[in-house]
């Protein structure tokens, strides 16, 4: 995209002049005369075209010496939908950087996960995004720092290390460069209250429209007891994070999703936010998805009725895969019951008023072995999957090569096409994953009279949400919401 900016200048300019929020996160507008960069929908008077340059990432704009606009807060834009939908090196790297891999493992660790040399990785990111992995991670640390400064009562030194900075000086310098103000001045303007220790509430932005019913309805209808629940208008669940565990409450509003996180270790903030955004598919481009699906006259009425459907995904690929195996050829209720037994027997306990456990890891299930309480054939399949995940023979992390993961998963005895496509859709984030053998999908296709799905590509995972909605199933309804 960085190399295409000159070719796309006119298109970007039209978006800026129209203050089109659909393009927020796709690119950033840098104004040479002011030295600031903005989101396309910035409410300020659009600058002259001769004074503008466009950047594919906030990190690119920062590297060029621009600071963030204080009015439109460009670092709080939704992420680019490209990183979720694409499967190439750059997109895989961006998903891992969002998850905090550079902060935890450095650039060598990121390159190793992706199977490329550090030089190849840096060259690819610089060519397309205008910044290398360190610059991209630095931009994310700056955003996390501002969230902590403005929403918590943490001391500024604690904010620095919780955000991933190596020193207080590095933290201070970065905040000054990116936001043209000091951490202390940001804190004074925000005047945060004193929330409970380890608690942060943030707004998760998304591109309009968003249809929350099936998204939250699916998560609640399939919720594993002790791990997930619907409580006081929010979906709550436990999170296994790199430095500890957490509990999140996600509540939909017309303009954003309110996200309240209780974390053992504040260093997990950026990873937790990235995983919650991935769970709710908040970086999607619903206008592009709906436009493609609406080209089919059979599907168009469903899209008009419920625009902006998202794909309910996951915060943990390993967990989703294990739950998919538990749900093979049984009802939703039976799958929940099996998962709940595993959680109670083998999951780590957490302290919370209502939730009780983390979902067990693959390693914990392998250690449980024959003690897994379920029919032998299903137990054998779960154990084969858990061993493959624990041994590293199967990787379902955000930066994985999706097709390779698909093939490895399909090669495991006892795992059929429905499970492979479910994992591809919800854990790997493949926007074109499709479930023709799923009962709800098959019934939906029959009700529509649809005999082919090629026109729905590359968004067939979103078409699945519309097909499911044709049935009378609780996954289609948010508790207290409409059908």
38 assigned to active site: yes
Q: Do residues 43 and 56 make contact, with C-beta atoms less than 8 angstroms apart?
A: no
DSSP letter for each residue of 270-319: HHHHHHHHHHHTTT--HHHHHHHHTTSTTTHHHHHHSTTB-----S-HHH
CB neighbour burial string for 296-307, b if at least 16 within 10 angstroms, e if fewer: beebeebbeebb
DSSP-based three-state secondary structure for 397: coil
Q: Which of 38, 42, 69, 72 is catalytic?
A: 38
Within 10 A of 67 (CB to CB), how many other CB atoms are there? 18
438 assigned to active site: yes
C-alpha 143, offset from chain centre: 16
Both tokens assigned to 356:
């009780």
DSSP letter for each residue of 132-156: -HHHHHHHHHHHHHHHHHHH----H
Give bridge partners of residue 68 from the DSSP assignment.
Answer: 37
DSSP-based three-state secondary structure for 228: strand
Alpha-carbon separation of residue 43 from 78, 147, 274, 283 (angstroms): 17, 22, 27, 22
Q: Which of 75, 84, 318, 438 is catalytic?
A: 438
Alpha-carbon separation of residue 375 from 210, 255, 362, 371 (angstroms): 40, 46, 19, 11
Report the alpha-carbon distance of residue 24 to residue 403 in Å, rounded: 30
Q: Do residues 246 and 272 make contact, with C-beta atoms less than 8 angstroms apart?
A: yes
Catalytic annotation, residues: 38, 438
């Amino acid at each position: 995209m960085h190399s295409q900016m000159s070719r796309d200048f006119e298109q970007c300019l039209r978006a800026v002049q129209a203050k089109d929020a659909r393009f927020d996160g796709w690119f950033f507008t840098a104004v040479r005369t002011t030295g600031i960069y903005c989101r396309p929908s910035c409410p300020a008077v659009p600058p002259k075209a001769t004074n503008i340059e466009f950047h594919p990432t906030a990190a690119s704009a920062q590297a060029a010496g621009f600071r963030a606009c204080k009015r439109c807060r460009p670092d709080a834009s939704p992420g680019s939908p490209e990183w979720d939908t694409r499967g190439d090196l750059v997109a895989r790297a961006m998903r891992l950087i969002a998850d905090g891999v550079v902060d935890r493992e450095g650039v060598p660790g990121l390159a190793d996960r992706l199977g490329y040399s550090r030089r190849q990785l840096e060259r690819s990111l610089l060519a397309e995004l205008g910044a290398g992995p360190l610059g991209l991670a630095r931009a994310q640390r700056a955003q996390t720092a501002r969230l902590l400064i403005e929403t918590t009562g943490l001391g500024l030194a604690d904010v620095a290390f919780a955000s991933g900075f190596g020193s207080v000086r590095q933290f201070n310098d970065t905040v000054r460069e990116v936001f043209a103000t000091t951490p202390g001045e940001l804190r004074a303007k925000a005047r945060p209250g004193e929330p409970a220790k380890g608690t942060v509430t943030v707004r998760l932005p998304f591109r309009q429209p968003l249809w929350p019913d099936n998204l939250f309805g699916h998560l609640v209808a399939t919720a594993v007891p002790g791990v997930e629940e619907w409580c006081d208008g929010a979906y709550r669940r436990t999170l296994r994070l790199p430095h500890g565990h957490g509990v999140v409450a996600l509540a939909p509003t017309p303009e954003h999703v309110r996200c309240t996180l209780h974390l053992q270790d504040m260093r997990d903030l950026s990873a937790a936010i990235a995983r919650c955004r991935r769970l709710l598919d908040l970086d999607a481009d619903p206008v592009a998805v709906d436009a493609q699906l609406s080209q089919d006259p059979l599907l168009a009425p469903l899209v008009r009725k419920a625009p902006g459907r998202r794909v309910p995904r996951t915060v943990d690929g390993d967990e989703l895969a294990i739950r998919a195996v538990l749900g093979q050829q049984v009802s939703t209720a039976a799958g929940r019951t099996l998962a709940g037994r595993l959680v109670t027997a083998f999951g780590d306990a957490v302290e919370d008023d209502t939730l009780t456990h983390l979902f067990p890891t693959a390693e914990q299930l392998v250690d449980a072995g024959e003690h897994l309480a379920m029919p032998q054939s299903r137990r054998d399949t779960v154990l084969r999957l858990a061993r493959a995940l624990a041994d590293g023979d199967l990787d379902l992390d955000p930066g994985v090569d999706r097709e390779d993961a698909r093939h490895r998963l399909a090669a495991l005895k006892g795992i059929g096409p429905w499970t492979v496509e479910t994992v591809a859709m919800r854990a790997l984030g493949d926007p074109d994953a499709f479930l023709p053998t799923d009962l709800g999908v098959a019934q939906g296709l029959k009700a529509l009279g649809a005999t082919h799905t090629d026109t729905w590509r590359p968004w067939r995972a979103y078409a699945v949400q519309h097909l499911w909605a044709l049935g009378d199933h609780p996954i289609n309804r948010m508790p207290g919401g409409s059908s």
